[in-house]
């Protein structure tokens, strides 16, 4: 479908076409053009697209906000005692020269804009994997309209003592669209923890499309934590996580979504080297009319690899949760060990959960399984706690907290783990106040 054809479809399509015209010459013109043509053939996803069956983006995105203006938030990188903080404010990243000396040896950071100007073929391939970019409309749209991002290279053997925090900030004001694309390249044998946070300084109904890609070298170990905090009820936030793993590498990720309009996290992980291991955990805390969609595809492309997926969803009010998980075992990926589980806890009659786990296996020597459950708080457990003197609401809160902590406890850093546990208790407190 041509650009002219998409212009005639809806107001949203016309606005997106205009946004592409303003961005098509902002570096990597051929990449942007190919991404736009891929998106134009598909358009915004509807329920007719299997991977978007439970989240009708076209219906939600009837009006497209203009692209974000230059940010008024000054700092772009800060070196604190416990972490290195990288800030993408309103889709813009600035690297302050005075902070480069504070970076650990073996770590290189540059902006996406600068990286695109280098016309590095390997870098562009890592930023935009052709197979995924051509299959998913939201990733294609991100490639066409990407404003800025962070390119982070961790050298071979480098083991970072401080966390790397990628902070996605929206400064508020008028509603705006933000498109960012970032890349972490972890050299062979390297080790790091990357924390990705999403914040809005003023709830304005922002429209965000973020992509973070990891290229993990042989023997590297990466821990990733994604923290998606609540925003206004009319916000639309799309997060794509792309991961490729080399031989004997390890990637463990936890994503925490705390309500706020429509949120979709989609994860594409490909185990390309033998004995690679990936662990994907997630927790969604939803209330009111929140809609949170987690969709993932884990592809085993090499033998002797291991994958684990554990997702927990807590729903109250009229909230809607979605979990779609697919594990694909390619021919030749023998000795694959895969397990996927999704559990949902429904706290109200109006809450809805959609679970869709899948396996596609094209090898004969594998151990793979999946499971999905939806239910209410266990009446016997409630009775047990109440019989020992706990008021009903405290008993409920204790059970909900235990359910949510099943995945949060996987965080290796004690301070970070305790911070998320505090967030769970605060969410429960707000739930009680809203009763």
CA distance 373 to 225: 24
Decide if 338 contacts 327 (C-beta within 8 A): yes
Could you tell me the pLDDT band of residue 5, with boundaries at 50, 70 and 90? very low
pLDDT of residue 204: 64
pLDDT digits (tens, 9 = 90+) for 175-215: 789 999 999 999 999 999 999 998 766 556 788 999 999 99
The structural domains of the chain, with segments of one domain joined by +, span 377-435
Which residues have CB under 8 Å from 61's CB, separation 6+? 12, 44, 207, 236
Write the pLDDT tens digit of every residue in 371-409. Answer: 999 999 999 999 999 999 999 889 999 999 999 999 999
For the stretch 124-159, pLDDT in tens is 778 877 667 678 999 999 999 999 999 999 999 999
Distance CA 300, CA 333 (A): 6
Cα(4)–Cα(6) distance, rounded to whole angstroms?
6
Please return the burial class of 130, using the count of CB atoms within 10 Å of its CB with bins 0-12, 13-18 and 19+. exposed
- Residue 95 is predicted with a pLDDT of 62
Buried b vs exposed e over 350-365: b needs ≥16 C-beta within 10 Å?
ebebbbbbeeebebee
Average pLDDT, the chain: 88
Contacts for 368 with CB less than 8 Å, ≥ 6 apart: 327, 329, 336, 337, 338, 339, 359, 361
Name every residue whose Cβ is closer than 8 Å to that of residue 125 and which is 6 or more positions away in sequence: none
Given its phi and psi angles, is residue 124 left (phi above 0), alpha (psi -120 to 50 degrees) or beta? alpha
Residue 317 has pLDDT above 90, yes or no: yes
Secondary structure (3-state) at 87: strand
- SS (HEC) of 378-433: CHHHHHHHHHCCCCHHHHHHHHHHHHHHHHHCCCCCHHHHHHHHHHHHHHHHHHHH
Which candidate, 385, 324, 321, 328, places its Cα nearest to that of 353?
321
Of the listed ranges 57-71, 385-399, 411-425, the least confidently predicted one is: 57-71
Percent of the chain with pLDDT strictly greater than 90 = 66
Q: What is the pLDDT of residue 9?
A: 66
pTM for the whole structure: 0.93
pLDDT at position 98, please?
Answer: 44
Residue 200 CA to its chain's centroid (Å): 16
Work out the average pLDDT over 164-182. Answer: 85
CA–CA distance from 124 to each of 88, 115, 129, 229 (Å)?
20, 9, 8, 30
Mean of pLDDT values over 307-328: 97
Q: How far apart are CA 153 and CA 155, in angstroms?
A: 6
pLDDT of residue 7: 41
């Amino acid at each position: 479908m041509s650009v002219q054809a998409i212009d005639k479809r809806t107001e949203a399509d016309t606005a997106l076409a205009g946004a592409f015209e303003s961005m098509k010459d902002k570096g990597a013109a051929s990449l942007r053009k190919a991404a736009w043509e891929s998106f134009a053939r598909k358009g915004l996803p509807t329920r007719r697209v299997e991977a978007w069956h439970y989240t009708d983006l076209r219906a939600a995105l009837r009006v497209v906000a203009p692209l974000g203006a230059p940010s008024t938030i000054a700092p772009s990188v800060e070196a604190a005692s416990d972490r290195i903080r990288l800030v993408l404010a309103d889709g813009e990243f600035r690297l302050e020269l005075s902070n480069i000396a504070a970076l650990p040896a073996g770590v290189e950071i540059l902006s996406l804009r600068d990286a695109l100007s280098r016309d590095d073929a390997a870098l562009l391939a890592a930023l935009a994997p052709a197979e995924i970019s051509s299959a998913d409309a939201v990733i294609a749209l991100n490639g066409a309209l990407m404003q800025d991002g962070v390119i982070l290279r961790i050298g071979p053997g480098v083991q970072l003592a401080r966390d790397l925090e990628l902070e996605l900030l929206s400064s508020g004001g008028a509603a705006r669209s933000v498109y960012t694309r970032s890349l972490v390249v972890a050299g062979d044998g390297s080790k790091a923890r990357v924390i990705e946070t999403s914040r809005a300084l003023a709830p304005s109904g922002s429209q965000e499309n973020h992509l973070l890609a990891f290229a993990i070298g042989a023997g590297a170990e990466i821990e990733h934590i994604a923290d998606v905090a609540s925003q206004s009820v009319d916000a639309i936030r799309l997060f794509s996580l792309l991961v490729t793993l080399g031989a004997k590498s390890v990637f463990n990720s936890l994503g925490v979504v705390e309500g706020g309009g429509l949120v979709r996290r989609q994860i594409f992980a490909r185990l390309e080297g033998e004995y690679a291991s990936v662990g994907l955990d997630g927790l969604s805390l939803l209330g009111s009319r929140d809609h949170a969609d987690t969709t993932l595809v884990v592809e085993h492309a090499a033998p002797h690899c291991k994958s684990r997926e554990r997702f927990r969803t807590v729903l109250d009010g009229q909230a809607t949760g979605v979990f779609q998980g697919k594990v694909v075992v390619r021919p030749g990926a023998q000795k694959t060990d895969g397990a996927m589980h999704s559990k949902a806890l429904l706290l109200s009659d109006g809450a809805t959960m959609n679970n869709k786990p899948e396996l596609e296996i094209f090898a004969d020597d594998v151990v793979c399984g999946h499971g999905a459950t939806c239910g209410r708080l266990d009446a016997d457990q409630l009775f047990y706690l109440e019989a020992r003197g706990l008021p009903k609401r405290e008993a409920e809160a204790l059970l909900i907290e235990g359910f949510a902590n099943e995945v949060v406890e996987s965080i290796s850093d004690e301070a970070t783990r305790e911070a998320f546990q505090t967030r769970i208790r605060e969410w429960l407190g707000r739930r009680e106040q809203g009763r």
